[in-house]
C-alpha cells in the first residue's frame, strides 16, 4: 500500500516540471478546441497527435494524448450547449438539456454543470483505474489463448450490440474490421494474404491511417454535407459551477460515474454509450422526470459525468488486456505500441511504473480541464464560430499529414481516403464505426489466440466452452447475440416472467 | 417546447433506412464474404512442410468470411421480411433539410484531387495552400456579390491559404520533426 502510494507520488513528481506542465496546458487546450469544433472528434485528435508526438519521449507523448483525450470529450459539450450540435458524438446526449438551458439564457450555468460533472466524472473514473487495474491485470494473467479469443469475439459482439442502432450491422462492421486486419503478411509463414501482388498491401493496413480516415475524413465529408451550425447566443452568464448543483446531485454523479466507468471497461463502446446510459439511468431514478429534455440540470450532469468517467474506464482494458474500451482508447493503444509500451496483462509486471504514470496523467489532465473550463469561455466561443468552409480544408490537410507521418508511405494516405469514403457510406447506411475499428484492433489478438488455442487443443473446440472463464465469456457472447434478435428477446422476457410468476408464493 | 434532438449526422442510427437499402447492402456483404472464402480456399496450407492445418494462412480469414456471409444472409432475409421486395418500397428517402449532395460531391472531389493529385507532386505547403484556397473560394463564392467584395474575398482566401500552408510546414517539420509528404 505504502509502496503504491510512493509510486503514485513519484509519478506525480515526474510531471511537475514547468516544461511538462506547459505541455499539459497546451495539449488539454488543444483537446478542448478539437472537442468543441463540430466535425473534429476525440478519436481524430488522439490519432493525429499520435503521429505528431512520436518523436517525443514516450511518457511525454502519452501525456499529450491523454490530455487531448480528456480535453476533447469535455470540449464537445461546448458546442452541444451553444449550437445544439455535439462537438463529439459523446456529447450528443448533452444537447438534450444543455441547449434548452442555453435558450433559457443559462448557457453559463449549463457550462458550469458540464465542467463540474465532467471533472468529477474523470476523477471518479481515475480512482477506478487506480484501484481496479491491478486486480484485473492479476486476473488477466490467468487467461490463456481460449479466453483471449473469446475476449476478442466478445468485444466485437458487445460493441455491435450496444454501440447504438442495429446490432446486426454492428456485428457485420466488426467482422469486416477483423477481416481487414488479416490483410498483409500472416504470422506463421509470412504468406501475403489479399495483397494481389501489391507490396504496400502486403505490409498490412495501418490502424492510425484507418482511424484518421474513418473518424476524420468521414467527418469532413459529413460536416460539408450537413447544414451550417449557428450559435444560440454569443453572451454567456457566469460559468463558475455552483456548489449547490453538485451537492444536490451527488447521487446522480456517483451513479453516472459508476455507469460511465463500467461502459468504458466494456470493449469498444465508448463515451457516447456511457453518456446515454447514464442519462437514461438518471432519468429513471429522478423525481423530476418531466424536466428531462427541457433543461434539466440533473440530466446534463448525468450525461457529462458519465461520458467523462468513461475516459479513464476505457483505458482500464487497454492496460490490462490490450483491448481498447473506446475508439480514442484504440488510438491511444496504438500510440503505446509505437512507443514500445506493451499494453496488456504483462504491463503491470514489465513496466509497472507506467500504470502509475497513467493515473497521474489522468489527474493532471482533469485538473487542467477544470482550469480551462473556468477561465477560457470567450475564446472558445470565438473558435466555435469559425466557418466550416475555412476549418474543414485545414482539418483534411492535417489528416493527410497524420496518415503519412508514422511510416512516411503515400499508401497510408490512400488507406485514409479509402476508410474515409467507406466510413461515410457505412454511416449513411446506419453502420456504427466503432465495431469496425475495434475489429481492426482486435484482429491480431483473435488470430494469434485462435490458431494457438487450436494447436494446443489439437483442433478440439471443447476447451473454448469448458474452461470456466472461457465458458462464461462464450455464454455472454452467445446470449448477447440472441438478445439482439427482437423475437428472441420477447420470448426470453416472457419465459422469465412466467418462471417468476410460478416461483412467487400464492 | 419540443425536445431538441441531435442531427442525424451525429446520431446515425436515429432514422430507419428503407428495407431495400439493407437488401442491397446485404448483397454487397454477401459478395465480399464469398470472395473472402474463395480467396482463402486458394491459399496454401503448407501441409507438405509439416505445417498444421490450424496455422494455415486462410483459416482465420475464412472464419471471418463465413461469419460475414452468414450475417449478410441474415440482413438480407430480414430486409425481405420487412418488405424490401414488396412493390412500392422504392420510394426515395425524404430529403433532409439543409443537407446538400452537391456540397458533398464538391468536397469529395477537392479532397481526392488534393490527396491523389497534388500531394507528393508539389511541395506540401504549396499543395496545401492550393487546396485550402480552392476549397474556401468555391464554398464561399457568392456570384451575386459586388466585384470589389469578391476580389477582397479571393485575396483573403489566398493569404489565409498560403499562411496555413507555411504554418503547417513549419510546425510539423520544425516543431514536431515530422516528415511531410
pLDDT at B6: 40
Of A129, A146, A164, A416, whose CA–CA distance to A268 is shortest? A164
Measured at the CA of B56, the angle between CA B52 and CA B61, to 5 degrees, comes to 145
Separation in Å, CA of B163 to nearest CA in chain A: 11
For chain A, say whether B78 makes contact (Cβ under 8 Å).
Answer: yes
Q: How is residue A228 annotated by DSSP?
A: P
Asked if A144 and A251 count as a contact pair (C-beta separation under 8 A), the reply is: no
Q: Give the confidence band of B93 by pLDDT, cuts at 50, 70, 90.
A: low
Q: Give the confidence band of B87 by pLDDT, cuts at 50, 70, 90.
A: confident
Separation between Cα atoms, residue A438 and residue A506, nearest integer Å: 50
What the block records as the C-alpha cell of A132 is 481496479
Question: Where does A339-409 have alpha helices with state H?
Answer: 347-350, 352-375, 378-384, 388-405
Collapsing DSSP states into helix, strand and coil, what is residue B25?
helix
Nearest-CB residue to B61 (from A193, A222, A416): A193
Chain A nearest-CA residue for B10:
A89
Nearest-CB residue to B136 (from A172, A223, A393): A393
pLDDT tens-place string over residues B18-70: 889 999 999 999 999 999 999 999 999 888 877 788 889 999 999 999 999 99
- Identify which has the larger pLDDT, B91 or A323: A323
Separation in Å, CA of A55 to nearest CA in chain B: 7
* ipTM of the prediction: 0.88
Residues of B in contact with A186 (CB under 8 A): 57, 60
Segments of chain A scoring below 70 in pLDDT: 1, 164, 229-239, 503-506
Torsion angle in degrees (nearest 10) through CA of A259, A262, A264, A270 = -50
Separation between Cα atoms, residue A413 and residue A276, nearest integer Å: 34
Q: Give the confidence band of B4 by pLDDT, cuts at 50, 70, 90.
A: very low
Separation in Å, CA of B49 to nearest CA in chain A: 11
Sign of CA dihedral A317, A318, A324, A329: positive
> Could you identify the residue written with the cell 497510408?
A412
For chain A, say whether B174 makes contact (Cβ under 8 Å).
Answer: no
Separation in Å, CA of A132 to nearest CA in chain B: 32
CB contact under 8 Å between B178 and A175, yes or no, is: no
Residues of A in contact with B103 (CB under 8 A): 224-225
Q: How is residue B1 annotated by DSSP?
A: -
CB contact under 8 Å between B181 and A410, yes or no, is: yes
Report the length, in residues, of chain A.
506
pLDDT at A505: 58
Angle formed by the axes of helices A167-180 and A145-162, to 10°?
130
Give contacts of B 105-124 with A, CB under 8 A: 106-108, 110-112, 114-116, 119-120, 124
pLDDT at B10: 40
pTM here? 0.85
Asked if A432 and A170 count as a contact pair (C-beta separation under 8 A), the reply is: yes
Of A150, A42, A122, A119, whose CA–CA distance to A87 is shortest? A42
Amino acid at each position: 500500500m505504502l509502496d503504491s502510494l510512493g509510486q503514485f507520488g513519484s509519478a506525480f513528481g515526474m510531471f511537475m516540471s514547468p516544461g511538462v506542465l506547459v505541455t499539459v496546458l497546451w495539449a488539454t487546450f488543444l483537446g478542448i478546441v478539437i472537442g468543441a469544433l463540430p466535425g473534429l472528434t476525440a478519436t481524430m485528435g488522439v490519432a493525429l497527435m499520435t503521429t505528431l508526438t512520436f518523436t517525443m519521449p514516450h511518457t511525454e507523448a502519452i501525456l499529450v494524448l491523454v490530455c487531448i483525450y480528456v480535453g476533447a470529450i469535455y470540449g464537445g459539450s461546448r458546442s452541444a450547449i451553444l449550437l445544439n450540435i455535439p462537438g463529439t458524438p459523446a456529447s450528443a446526449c448533452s444537447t438534450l438539456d444543455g441547449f434548452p438551458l442555453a435558450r433559457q439564457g443559462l448557457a453559463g450555468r449549463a457550462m458550469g454543470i458540464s465542467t463540474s460533472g465532467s471533472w468529477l466524472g474523470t476523477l471518479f473514473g481515475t480512482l477506478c483505474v487506480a484501484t481496479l487495474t491491478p486486480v484485473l491485470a492479476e486476473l488477466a494473467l490467468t487467461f490463456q489463448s481460449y479466453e483471449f479469443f473469446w475476449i476478442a469475439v466478445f468485444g466485437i459482439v458487445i460493441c455491435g450490440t450496444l454501440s447504438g442502432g442495429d446490432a446486426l450491422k454492428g456485428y457485420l462492421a466488426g467482422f469486416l474490421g477483423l477481416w481487414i486486419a488479416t490483410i498483409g503478411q500472416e504470422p506463421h509463414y509470412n504468406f501475403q494474404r489479399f495483397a494481389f501482388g501489391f507490396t504496400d498491401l502486403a505490409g498490412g493496413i495501418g490502424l492510425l491511417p484507418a482511424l484518421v480516415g474513418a473518424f476524420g475524413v468521414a467527418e469532413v465529408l459529413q460536416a460539408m454535407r450537413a447544414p451550417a451550425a449557428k450559435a444560440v447566443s454569443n453572451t454567456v452568464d457566469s460559468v463558475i459551477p455552483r456548489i449547490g448543483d453538485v451537492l444536490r446531485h451527488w447521487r446522480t454523479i456517483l451513479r453516472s460515474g459508476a455507469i460511465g466507468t463500467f461502459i468504458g471497461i466494456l470493449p469498444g463502446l465508448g463515451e457516447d454509450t456511457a453518456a446515454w446510459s447514464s442519462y437514461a439511468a438518471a432519468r429513471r431514478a429522478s423525481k423530476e422526470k418531466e424536466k428531462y429534455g427541457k433543461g434539466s440540470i440533473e440530466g446534463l450532469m448525468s450525461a457529462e459525468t458519465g461520458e467523462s468517467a468513461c475516459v479513464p474506464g476505457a483505458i482500464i482494458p487497454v492496460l490490462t488486456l490490450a483491448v481498447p474500451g473506446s475508439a480514442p482508447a484504440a488510438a491511444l493503444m496504438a500510440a503505446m505500441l509505437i512507443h514500445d509500451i506493451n499494453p496488456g496483462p504483462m504491463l503491470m509486471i514489465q513496466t509497472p511504473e507506467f500504470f502509475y504514470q497513467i493515473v497521474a496523467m489522468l489527474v493532471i489532465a482533469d485538473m487542467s480541464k477544470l482550469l480551462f473550463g473556468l477561465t477560457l469561455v470567450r475564446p472558445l466561443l470565438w473558435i466555435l464560430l469559425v466557418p466550416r468552409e475555412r476549418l474543414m480544408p485545414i482539418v483534411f490537410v492535417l489528416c493527410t499529414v497524420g496518415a503519412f507521418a508514422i511510416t512516411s508511405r503515400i499508401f497510408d494516405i490512400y488507406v485514409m481516403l479509402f476508410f474515409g469514403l467507406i466510413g461515410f457510406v457505412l454511416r449513411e447506411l446506419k453502420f456504427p464505426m466503432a465495431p469496425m475499428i475495434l475489429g481492426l484492433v482486435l484482429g491480431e489478438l483473435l488470430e494469434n489466440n485462435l490458431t494457438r488455442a487450436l494447436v494446443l487443443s489439437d483442433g478440439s473446440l471443447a476447451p473454448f466452452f469448458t474452461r470456466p472463464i472461457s465458458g462464461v465469456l462464450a455464454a455472454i457472447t452467445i446470449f448477447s447475440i440472441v438478445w439482439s434478435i427482437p423475437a428472441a428477446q420477447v420470448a426470453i422476457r416472457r419465459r422469465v416472467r412466467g418462471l417468476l410468476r410460478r416461483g412467487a408464493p400464492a | 417546447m419540443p425536445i431538441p434532438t441531435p442531427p442525424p449526422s451525429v446520431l446515425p442510427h436515429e432514422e430507419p433506412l428503407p428495407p431495400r437499402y439493407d437488401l442491397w447492402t446485404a448483397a454487397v456483404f454477401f459478395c465480399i464474404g464469398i470472395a473472402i472464402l474463395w480467396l482463402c480456399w486458394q491459399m496454401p496450407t503448407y501441409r507438405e512442410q509439416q505445417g498444421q492445418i490450424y496455422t494455415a494462412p486462410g483459416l482465420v480469414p475464412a472464419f471471418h468470411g463465413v461469419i460475414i456471409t452468414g450475417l449478410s444472409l441474415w440482413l438480407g432475409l430480414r430486409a425481405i421480411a420487412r418488405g424490401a421486395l414488396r412493390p412500392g418500397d422504392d420510394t426515395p428517402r425524404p430529403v433532409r433539410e439543409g443537407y446538400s449532395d452537391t456540397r458533398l460531391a464538391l468536397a469529395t472531389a477537392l479532397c481526392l484531387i488534393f490527396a491523389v493529385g497534388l500531394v507528393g507532386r508539389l511541395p506540401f505547403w504549396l499543395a496545401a495552400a492550393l487546396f485550402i484556397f480552392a476549397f474556401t473560394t468555391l464554398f464561399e463564392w457568392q456570384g451575386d456579390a459586388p466585384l470589389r467584395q469578391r476580389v477582397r474575398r479571393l485575396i483573403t482566401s489566398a493569404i489565409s491559404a498560403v499562411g496555413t500552408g507555411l504554418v503547417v510546414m513549419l510546425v510539423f517539420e520544425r516543431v514536431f520533426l515530422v516528415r511531410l509528404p
